[in-house]
Structure 1
Amino acid sequence: MNITTVTSRKILPTTLAAALAGILMVSGCSKQSDEKATADTPVETAEKTGSKTSSAAGQAHMDRLLISYADMAHAAYKDALETAKILQTAVNTYVETPTQANLDAAKAAYKAARQPYSQTEVFRFDEGFVTANEQRKIASTDSWEGQVNAWPLDEALIDYVSTNYEGKYNSQDNIINSDSITVGSIKQDTSTITPELLAEMTEIGGSEANVTTGYHAIEFMLWGQDTNGVAEGAGNRPFSDYLTTDGQCTSGESKNPEASVCERRGQYLKAATQLLVDDLTAMEAEWQPDSENTLRSDIMARKDKNSLHQIMYQMGSLALGELASDRIQVAFVTGSTEDEHECFSDLTHLSYANNARGIQNVFNGDYKTVAGKTIGGYGLKNYLVDTGNTEAADKLAADFAKVEAAFNVIVEKGEKENIKIDQMIATVGQGIKQGVTAEEQNKRRGWIETSITSLQELTAGIENAAKAVGIDNLDAGSQF
């Protein structure tokens, strides 16, 4: 199977890995135990015939895996919600009192909020697995995710950009500076900026680049456009863009005679942050223990059907189709900073590493909360060992060690040496123009290439493990 990106974002044809694929065949008891009772019940050593685990023992292992998975999802989304609330407080303070110190505090809160959220993305790829349920508030994580994390965005739709900006939206009118804008054949009233308006406008005119909501809209409103290309430096929006005194309000280097534009920026930033908090509140509720008509209750109800299939598909989809290909390889091959995941703030190195960590959390069965508590206790690694597939577990463990090492290098270079993804993805020619030798630029590109290769090998390990447990086709929907 080809695990390809399901973001509908632009994607470079790739031969990153051979197909992952399969029909899930898991035997188990038909009776569903209470979550807490199952989690607290000691699991006896499985009786095996060859590599096959007895039905009762196998179901007990599956129960532990799913409860651990759901607990980790709940903890990660709860952390994402709580850090988003801290971000909201910082944003409100900044909009009320625009100073450099308050802008820096809001940026720091954004950086902190991205850490747990980026680890939740492994739970995203559930389309084709979840059961339709009109009583459930969120149909699937994948359908929900776009409003929270869509990228890349056409920033010209939102606010001012540089004169040499190239995007699909090229009107001088934008949400910040106009009471109405026209996108294609659609005329949109933008006089009052609210969370509801931003949600309504995202992907307006049918363009996926018309992103008006989520983390990256907030990121743009805090940092502004990054005009440095592959050179050092992130966006540098001045705090005066939010000053609400006539004559002091700016749009970058330009001063505005009236402060209404700055007032509207504050309204936009607050509205986008409120919508993010609302969305994360809804998702955190979907994973609360003992809940009904939720994503958690749905995957628990499917433990005899496709739940294991879903988990392994999600791991492979994030590793290969999304992270290795859409998020890393596209930018790496083209040297395009516009395709960098967090191109305004230059925090992409952390997003990459936390995406990879999220996959590893599911494998190891532990998620470390912001407060330092470990949640989970039973991962895919444990399940493979307990079902007689130690060799597959060991291969995956070795693969994850390579992934972790690769991304540790990227994070260390970004955090300690200030060499960001912008500088790592630059072509040799681009690097030379910035005063970087060909040898040094090839070394930097090598860090990125190693991360892609490690994810390729990890995906092969997931494929191997899937076959070991009887899943020959990991494609979403192939389990039925």
Structure 2
Amino acid sequence: MNMTTVTNRKILPTTLAAALAGILLVSGCTKQANDDTATDAQTEVQNTDAANNRTTSGAEQANIDRLALSYVNMAHAAYKDSLGTAKTLQTAVNAYVDAPTEANLEAAKAAYKAARQPYSQTEVFRFDEAFVSADDQREIGSVDGWEGQVNAWPLDEALIDYVSDDYEGEYNSQDNIINSDSIAVGSIKQDTSTITPQLLADMNEIGGSEANVTTGYHAIEFMLWGQDTNGVGEGAGNRPISDYNTTDGECTSGESANTDASICERRGEFLKAAAQLLVDDLTAMEAQWQPDSEHTLRSDMIARKDNNGLRQIMYQMGSLAFGELASQRMQVAFVTGSTEDEHECFSDLTHLSYANNARGIQNVFNGSYKTLADKTVGGYGVKNYLIDTGHQDVADKLAADFSKVESDFNIIVEKGEKEGIKIDQMIATVGQASKQGISAEEQNARRGWIETAITSLQELTTGIESAAKAVGIDNLDADAGS
């Protein structure tokens, strides 16, 4: 399953919320922006309102206007940061491929880690497909339809490059993109002789399998780190730099030496092509949120802000928190102890992607995104809207839910960053951990960090639903009307 799959895409029923969930939140990036940020650009919203029939008071209309404008401004800022860091990643990748040294590899890995920080915060904008208007002149139909080429996971790495002998996946041929000029995926025969961004895009999810991922962040992650063969034990992937050595006799595929360097050359071509495609995709998405644009996702949101705009925003918060982050990314891995379901399974950076996913939800709640240039963008969030419409108690309760989740997940981030205990080690069952020399008491404590966070998410999900009901949204079904 990959990022484009969501548990119950159109509604967030409380009964399911009681059974599934997990969310991660960190502090420090949600300082409330000055309201002037929204006021200065108010003209953009007002100009789009002319054709809309208003049935709300002036004050209520101003609240919706400010919420929508803050939302699109945060989206633009987050995608702009994502594009900038992707370009930095591309530069580092190119430098590494051209000169495969340990220093250049570490620089590329650091650039990958940095690039994931802003992008993971954009995922709250993803769940829009049931809301956006049809527009043949818009380059991108929806964030959700676009996102699979950028962030799909888990990927079947055997389709791309060599894997360990005990690897089990859907794709089980010895031929892969790196080592063959042509491969067969089911009944499809694919020419892979020339590796380009277009080839990778054409092959993504080839044969209709969501595991056949050939593009995006996680393909780059795999090409930098390689497989993590440590299971639930300590350590990430450890692809050697000799995998990119283009000197005959010195090119490897892990522990195996190659007779010539063509495989290493193709690895470099793949990595460069994946990085180029990522930059191209993010360039297109950043353009969709630029101010004063027409036929874009931004102009679409502004044009229909009075018709389900608030519902979309709250639906997106809940969908990421509950359907994706909680159940798909955390609950499945936690229940099964499966490292294949760990979101950043090659690099062991899952704790950070969880954190920034949740930070993105918090950004929308608080109406505040902090850019990499240390500028606060937004100015008005769901919290402000609840307060301004007379629901201070609901806003306070939801803020408390976020605070509880923040506290629980800060523990996970701290353990991962400061103590080196990664998500794959936290999700291990007691039986799995015992084989790594971890006592049942210690492993129950580690699993408890995840389980406590899941419990906190149940309360947060209920809080989002309660907030929606307080402002007249009986359910968050995208087709329920305004």
Report the TM-score when normalising by structure 1.
0.91
CA distance in 2, matches of 1:67, 1:40: 7
Distance verdict in 2 for CA 1:187–1:237, change over 3 Å = same
Aligned residue for 2:41, secondary structure, equals: helix
SS of 2:345's partner is: coil
Contact 1:39 1:64 in 2 (8 A): no
1:397 aligned onto 2:394: no
Partner of 1:22: none
Aligned to 1:44: none
Q: Which residue of 2 aligns with 1:385?
A: 387
How far apart are 1:372 and its partner, in Å?
1.3
Q: Deviations over 1:408-460 (max 9, x none)?
A: 11110000000000110000111111111111101100111112122221111
CA contact (8 A) 1:38 1:63 kept: no
The question of whether the paired residues in 1 share the 8 Å contact of 2:217 and 2:278 is answered with yes
Q: Distance in 2 between matches of 1:380 and 1:39?
A: 20
* Counterpart residue number, 1:8: 5
Shift of 1:37: 3.4
Match of 1:193 among 184, 195, 218: 195
2: distance between equivalents of 1:450 and 1:132? 41
Quote how far apart the aligned CAs of 1:478 are: 2.2
Structure 1 equivalent of residue 311 of structure 2: 309
Listed one character per residue, the Cα deviations across residues 386-415 of structure 1 (whole Å, up to 9, x for unaligned) are 011111111110011011111111110000
Most deviating of 146-155 and 369-378: 369-378
Report if the CA contact (8 A) 2:318-2:461 is conserved.
yes
- Give the one of 425, 434, 437 matched to 1:435: 437
1:451 alignment counterpart: 453
Answer yes or no: is the 8 Å Cα contact 1:9–1:208 preserved in 2.
Answer: no
Unaligned residue ranges in structure 2 (runs of 5+): 9-13, 20-37, 47-54
Determine whether 1:170 maps to 2:175.
Answer: no
2:272 counterpart of 1:275:
no
Q: Does 1:211 align with 2:208?
A: no
2:369 is paired with a residue of what secondary structure? strand
Corresponding position of 1:374: 376
**Alignment of 1:36 onto 2:41:** yes
> Residue in 1 aligned with 2:148?
146
Which one-letter code corresponds to 1:87 in the other structure? L
Per-residue displacement from partner, 1:177-204 (whole Å, max 9, x unpaired)? 0000000000000000000000000111
Output the CA distance in 2 between the equivalents of 1:354 and 1:163: 34
Q: Report the counterpart of residue 112 of structure 1 in structure 2.
A: 114
Matched residue of 1:375: which SS? strand
Tell me the SS of whatever aligns to 1:87.
helix
Cα distance per residue 1:278-321 (max 9 Å; x no partner): 00000000001111100000010111101110000000000000
Task: Report the AA paired with residue 364 of structure 1.
Answer: N
Which residue matches 2:323?
321
Number of corresponding residues: 450
Asked if the contact 1:320/1:459 (under 8 Å) is kept, the reply is: yes
Q: Does 1:71 align with 2:68?
A: no
Deviation at 1:476, TM superposition (A): 2.1
The aligned residue for residue 479 of structure 1 is 481
Q: Which residue of 1 aligns with 2:35?
A: none
Taking only the aligned residue pairs, the percentage that are identical comes to: 79
- Specify every segment of 5 or more residues in structure 1 that has no aligned partner in the other structure, as ranges: 20-32, 42-52
In 2, Cα distance between the equivalents of 1:455 and 1:278?
Answer: 35
Q: Which residue of 2 aligns with 1:421?
A: 423
Structure 2 residue aligned with 1:83, among 82, 85, 90? 85
Q: Following superposition of structure 1 onto structure 2, how do residues 221-260 of structure 1 map, counting pairs within 5 Å?
A: 221-260=223-262
Moved runs in structure 1, 4+ residues, more than 3 A?
Answer: 37-41
Cα distance, 1:36 vs. partner?
2.2
Letter in 2 for 1:79: D
Aligned-pair Cα RMSD in Å: 2.0
SS of residue paired to 1:188: strand
Q: What is the rounded CA distance, in whole Å, between the counterparts of 1:95 and 1:334 in structure 2? A: 37
Amino acid at match of 2:109: K
* 1:17 positional shift: 1.1
Structure 1 equivalent of residue 365 of structure 2: 363
User: Which residue number in structure 1 is paired with residue 131 of structure 2?
Assistant: 129
In 1, the alpha carbon distance for the partners of 2:209 and 2:386 equals 43
- The residue aligned with 1:263 is 265
Describe the SS at the equivalent of 1:273.
helix
Residues 1:57 and 1:39: Cα distance change in structure 2 (over 3 Å): farther
Letter of the aligned partner of 1:350 in structure 2? Answer: L
Query: What residue in structure 2 maps to residue 464 of structure 1?
Result: 466
Letter in 2 for 1:17: A
Preserved contact between residue 45 and residue 302 of structure 2 (Cα < 8 Å): no
With over 3 angstroms needed to count, the CA separation of the structure-2 counterparts of 1:302 and 1:10, relative to structure 1, is closer
- Partner of 2:467, secondary structure, is helix
- Whether 1:343 aligns to 2:345 is yes
Deviations for 1:305-348, whole angstroms, at most 9, x for unmatched residues?
01110000000000000011000000000000000000000000
- Which of 405, 408, 417 does residue 406 from structure 1 map onto? 408
| Secondary structure, aligned partner of 1:293 | coil
Cα distance in 2 for partners of 1:301, 1:84 equals: 30
CA distance, structure 2, for counterparts of residue 403 and residue 438 of structure 1: 25
Q: Give the match for residue 293 of structure 1.
A: 295
CA distance in 2, matches of 1:62, 1:138: 25
Relative to structure 1, the CA distance from residue 292 to residue 110 in structure 2 (aligned partners, 3 Å threshold; closer, same or farther) is same
